[in-house]
Amino acid sequence: MQTSQQGQQGQQKPDTETAAPVGRRAALSGGWPFGTRSAALTAGDWPRTTKVLFFLSLLILPLLAVQAVRMGLEVVHRLDGLSTAATDNMQWVLSQAEVEHLKLQSETLLVEEPADLANVRRQFDLYYSRINTFVEGPLFADMRDSDRGGKVLRRLQARRATLVELIDVPDAQLMQNRAEILAQLEDNGDEVRELALLGVSMQVKGAEGKRLNLFALLSRMAFVVVALVAALAITALLLGGMYRRGRDLARERSKALSRMEAMISSSLDAILVVDREGTILAFNGAAETIFGYSRDEAIGASMERLIIPPHLRAAHRVGMDRYWQTSEPRLVGNGRVQLEGLRKSGEVFPVEVSLSVSRSQADLVVVSYIRDISDRIAAEEALRRARDDALAGEQAKANLLTVMSHEMRTPLTGILGAVDLLHLTDPDEEQLRYLNAMQVSGELLLNHVNDILQLSSLEAGVASEEASAFDLRQILDGLIESQKAAASNRGNQLTLNYHIKDGDYVVGRMRALQQALLNLIGNAIKFTNDGRITVEVEHSASPGQIAFHVSDTGAGIAEQDQKRIFEDFITLDASFGRGSEGTGLGLAITRRIVDSLGGTITCESELGEGSLFTLTLPLTLEAKQTPEHAQDRPALEHSARILVVEDNDINRELLQKMLQNQGHQVTAAAGGAQAVESCRIQQFDLVLMDISMPEVDGIEAIHRIRAGQLAEGVEIVALTAHTGPEDHARILAAGFAEVATKPISGPDLAALVVRRAKGAPALITSAPQATNADPASGQSDITEFFETLGPERALGFLQSFIAEVAQFITEIQAGTELQPAQRKEAHRLAGSAAVLGLAELRSALSDIEMLPTDAPLACAALASNWQRVKPLLEAHLIQPAHTA
């Protein structure tokens, strides 16, 4: 009973176990429509389904196996039960009852004497015990409980009770009861038989039940085994599929790998793969070439020690540590970075590095792409050097031009002065012709030199003039007047058509405008013979602008040249420049001037017909200032208060005189310190200051004045013999309004005052205007010097100057080392030479002044120069012809 109960439990258990996977499967399929079903439609999701199936079968297989084993055990147990059933030999017991019954019958029949009765009694006991077994034993419970069995057993028990009464009696009576006993046994025989038969049928029924039970169990087991085999088959199929897939993947992967290998090995950049510890994991062919290590040497080595130059190692370590700790890259993933690498030979070379981090699960590697850029860097360096050289060359050229022009201008001035003087010596006609030729050529040369000088100063960005109000009509009239002679020389007519009615005063940069127009008019004259040159002035179409048209009836310019004429040195072109003199810089300078004025210049021309140049400049009309107003003013009322700062006595006196002649109130200061003091005491309208002065020089003086706010609103103009653009820039940067070059002529000085003096009227005295007509006349500075100071005073200065220079040269030639006093004297004499326009002498004296203390004295340049200049000066002494 107990075992069968266990069996029932065993059957129930599998049901609950199989329920679990079914439930789980349901849960999974419930999730599909939203999660992966759509994805499962694509071929790529095939493995996912497989995976699910695989895990399901993995889950089910053990369950099936357990179930199969359990059932197998049960079958074994049942079979065992058949061989050792708890039933005992029921049939034996039942049939034995009949046997005992028959034995009892025969014993009873065999009784002949009372001694035989013991056998009957014993046999009855045995029979009795048999029946007892049926009544008592649990084996026979089914039989007892069955309808037929119960009835038979009850009858047998009743008869046995009757037999007990017949047998358990004394022997004598038992002998008599024999017949009765036999009769009873006769009746009893059928019952015992029936009992035995009943046992057989029951046994058969029981056995059949067991058989059916076993059959059912075996069927179930067969089912489980079939399921197990099916599950195994599915698993095998899946495994096969997975194997195939794995093989395909492996093949794909090896293909990709070999492609990757090819890419890496053919890369021109070095590719290094490095792990977290900095150990090199991969090293391609390019890396071998670049760094000089073989792959075997590199792999497994520390990258830091191998390819990072020692001075970068610490930084590298810090960088990597920081990256591993914070994951914040500075180099990693930031594109290309320039660093330095180390070759096996120990050479450090520039590299371009790009790093990226590859993460696969817990594994982290850094992939470095390294390019050797030493060639590129070298090329860049060469290029830069070439450019710097070219720039320096340009600069040197500009400097050379400036210096050259300056050095050329001074002797040229001397020549022209001498020619002037020769004119006064009553030359005969032939001599006069030569003199004129000399003068014309000399002036032309001077023009060229001035052109170049102006170009270079424009190039250096120096456009020092500031806008001021001036009478446009007057300027133009003067300009036309000054060029009339040149025009008529070539048989040209020069006319001005002035169409501006509403006032003549405009605000702008007068000198620049003058220069530009002069260049255009000069060009027109140059390229026109026996023709007409017209200057037209009118309002431009756009407001606030005035257009200047300069037209001629000359040779004209071919169309293809029209664009080029504003470029530098363009006269080299035959069609344009041949037969005409000039540096070819005129139009280039004009263009630059116009540019700096914010205007435009255009050219229209036809070959053989003539040219038309149009300037359009922003010039605003100033209606307030009327000419009448200006004329009403007495000359003295316009006089300005001017401070002249100049350490050179002659120069100072010259300037003072010139300014006084022009009607101004002049205060003189002999040095920078004195100038500062003067400004402190007195108000000026203008300050003219020498730059090169001992102790406090011009630059220092202006700093002090500006710092002390001693001359607010007052402009300070620099006077210098230096004409290089760099000097100009330096001087203007110090705060000077403009730079005037020594020696300065009377008209220039007058214009300067008009331009710069505070509250000065724009009235130009008429007297100097006449002499101003030809700005490049080459008039000797000495002449002006005499005019200004008066012959006696000038002669006195000149005499002492000649004596002083001569003595200075003698002293220098005698001495070996420059004394401080001599240095001072050199400076003073240089200043005087500048006043007299003796630039070469000034330069020679300045050289001596600037000599280093321990340098050997060399006055060869000074002496030779003096030999040339001295006769010129002495000529002035004997020819007091300058008396106006």
Partner 1 sequence: MKRWKMLFSFSFLCGLLGLLATGDTGMARAETQPGQEPVLLTVTQEGGDAPLLRLSLQDLQGFDVESFTTATIWTTGPQEFTGVPLVDILARLQQEQGLKTTSIKARAVNDYMVEVPVSDAVEGGAMIAFQRNGKLMSLRDKGPLWVVYPYDSDAAYRSEAVYSRSVWQLDRLIVEATPQ
Task: Classify residue 686 by its DSSP letter.
Answer: E
Least distance CB 214 / partner 1 (angstroms): 6
Tokens of 302: 């520390």
Task: Give the span between the Cα atoms of 44 and 7, in whole angstroms.
Answer: 48
Count Cα neighbours of 384 within 13 Å in the Cβ-side half-sphere: 6
371 close to 338: Cβ distance less than 8 angstroms: no
Nearer to partner 1 among residue 86 and residue 574 (C-beta):
86
Q: Cβ-count burial of 500 within 10 angstroms (0-12 exposed, 13-18 middle, 19+ buried)?
A: middle
To partner 1, the closest distance from the beta carbon of 144 in angstroms equals 11
Distances (CA, A) of 538 to 497, 541, 542, 543, 626: 9, 9, 11, 11, 19
Both tokens of residue 816?
A: 């070996």
Closest to 191 in 3D by CA, of 225, 156, 157: 156
| Structural element, H or E, at residue 281 | strand 280-283
* CA 331 – CA 665 distance, rounded (Å): 73
Q: Give the Cβ contact number of residue 857 at 10 Å.
A: 15
Q: At what angle do helices 374-423 and 725-733 cross, to 10 degrees?
A: 100
* DSSP run (H or E) holding 611: strand 610-618
Q: Between residues 171 and 700, which has the closer beta carbon with respect to partner 1?
A: 171
Taking the least distance from each CB to partner 1, the nearer of 106 and 819 is 106
Q: Are 697 and 674 in contact (CB under 8 A)?
A: no
Nearest Cα neighbor of 350 from 321, 382, 312, 383 is 312
Measured CA angle at 864 (ends 858, 869), to 5 deg: 130
In whole angstroms, how far apart are CA 670 and each of 656, 684, 696?
12, 16, 11
Kind and range of the H or E run holding 71? helix 46-83
Q: Which is nearer to partner 1, 119 or 235 (CB)?
A: 119
- Residue 189 CB, nearest approach to partner 1 (Å): 18
CB 250 to partner 1: min, Å: 45
When the beta carbons of 99 and 227 are compared against partner 1, the nearer one is 99
- Decide whether 216 or 390 has the Cβ nearer to partner 1: 216
Q: Which residues sit at the interface with partner 1, rule CB under 8 A?
A: 75, 79, 82-89, 91-92, 95-96, 99-100, 103, 122, 125-126, 128-129, 132-133, 136-139, 207, 211, 214-215, 218
| Cβ nearer to partner 1, comparing 17 with 125 | 125
Strands 715-720 and 686-690: parallel
Cβ nearer to partner 1, comparing 52 with 126: 126
Nearest distance from C-beta of residue 132 to partner 1, angstroms:
7
Q: Whose Cβ is closer to partner 1: residue 104's or residue 666's?
A: 104
User: Whole-number minimum distance, CB 185 to partner 1, in Å?
Assistant: 17
Rounded to whole angstroms, how far apart are CA atoms 121 and 128?
10
Q: In the bound complex, what is the minimum distance in angstroms from residue 241's beta carbon to partner 1?
A: 34
Q: CB of 129: closest distance to partner 1 in angstroms?
A: 5
CB of residue 97 to partner 1, shortest distance in Å: 11
How many CA atoms does the CB half-sphere of 8 hold within 13 Å?
A: 4
Q: Rounded to 5, what percent of the chain is helix, strand, coil?
A: 65, 15, 25
Residue position matching structure tokens 């266990």: 6
Tell me how far, at minimum, the Cβ of 135 lies from partner 1, in Å: 9
Taking the least distance from each CB to partner 1, the nearer of 213 and 867 is 213
> Between residues 215 and 324, which has the closer beta carbon with respect to partner 1?
215
Q: How far is the CB of 10 from partner 1 (least distance, A)?
A: 17
Size of the chain, expressed as the number of residues it contains: 884
Residue among 121 and 641 whose Cβ is closer to partner 1: 121
Shortest distance (Å) from residue 82 CB to partner 1? 5
Burial class (CB in 10 A: 0-12, 13-18, 19+), 563: exposed
Nearest distance from residue 113's CB to partner 1, in Å?
17
Give min distance, CB of 94 to partner 1, in A. 11
Contact indicator for 458, 589 with CB cutoff of 8 Å: yes
Residue 104 contacts residue 120 (beta carbons within 8 Å): yes
Residue whose CB is less far from partner 1, 167 or 731 = 167
Q: In whole angstroms, how close is the CB of 247 to partner 1 at the nearest point? A: 41
Two tokens at 158?
Answer: 């009743």
Indicate the residue among 225 and 377 with the shorter CB distance to partner 1: 225
CB of residue 83 vs partner 1: minimum separation in angstroms?
A: 5
Q: Which is nearer to partner 1, 87 or 765 (CB)?
A: 87
According to DSSP, the residues that pair with 718 across neighbouring strands are: 689, 739
Taking alpha carbons only, the member of 314, 321, 358, 353 closest to residue 337 is 353
- How far apart (Å, rounded) are the C-alpha atoms in residues 93 and 403? 154
**Which residue type, as a one-letter code, is found at position 361?**
Q
- Residues 623 and 503: beta-carbon distance below 8 Å: yes
Closest to partner 1 by CB, 181 or 744: 181
For the CB of residue 92, give the shortest distance to partner 1 in the complex, in Å.
Answer: 6
CB of 93 to partner 1, least distance (A): 9
Closer Cβ to partner 1, 213 or 682, answer by number: 213
The token pair that represents 536 in the structure block: 């037209």
Residue 567 CA: distances (Å) to CA of 164, 573, 585, 730: 164, 12, 8, 28
Q: CA nearest 285: which of 260, 268, 297?
A: 268
SS3 labels along 347-404: CEEEEEEEEEEEEECCEEEEEEEEEECHHHHHHHHHHHHHHHHHHHHHHHHHHHHHHH
**Cβ distance to partner 1 smaller for residue 196 or 702:** 196
Cα 662 to Cα 143, 636, 749, 767: the distances in Å are 167, 9, 9, 9
Cβ contact 506:470 at 8 Å: yes
